Amino acid sequence: MLRYDNVTQRLVQSMDVRMRRQELLTSNIANADTPTYVPTDLEFEGFLKSAEEADDADTKRVLPAPVSATPNNGDLEVIRRTNELRADGTVPLDGNLVNRDEEIGKAAENMARYNTALELMNRKVAVMRYAIESN
């Protein structure tokens, strides 16, 4: 069972990662017409692995870990597409690898996940506020 502090920490981490990813995705969308622009995104595999390792370390820890943006101290890896094809398999004449529709879809999904984490955080605060006011 997760302690309240660990759940809150994970929500904060999730919101921080989602905001960073939103910045990258909106940059991709804004540069959809820039010649030779290569889109960027976050590498989540390393982030998830370090989050699991942090969970394992938390079970041995007596005091809760301090809240940080990411469990690996901000080392989220920003990746760039390296191939010369768009995700739909077409070859761009101008060298721009951005598929605007795909990036907009990713941004919408990312924002929905951010809003979910924000709503969960708001509910946690509301429960704490209720508990404080009831006493």
Give pLDDT tens digits for 66-81: 434 444 445 577 887 7
Q: Is the pLDDT of residue 64 over 80?
A: no
pTM: predicted TM-score of the whole model, two decimal places: 0.71
Dihedral sign from CA coordinates of 116, 119, 120, 121 = positive
- Tell me the percentage of the chain whose pLDDT exceeds 70: 67
Token output for 17? 């990662």
Token output for 4? 């309240």
The larger pLDDT score, comparing residue 54 to residue 60, is at 54
Rounded Cα distance, 20 and 8, in Å:
19
pLDDT confidence bin for 10, thresholds 50/70/90? confident
Domain parsing of the chain, residue ranges: 4-134
Rounded Cα distance, 125 and 95, in Å:
48
pLDDT confidence bin for 93, thresholds 50/70/90? confident
pLDDT confidence bin for 8, thresholds 50/70/90? confident
Contacts of 2 (CB under 8 A, 6+ apart): 10
Q: Is-contact 22 114, C-beta < 8 A?
A: yes
Amino acid at position 128, single letter: M
Chain CA centroid to CA 94, Å: 30
Rounded Cα distance, 128 and 81, in Å:
44
Helix (H, G, I), strand (E, B) or coil at 124: helix
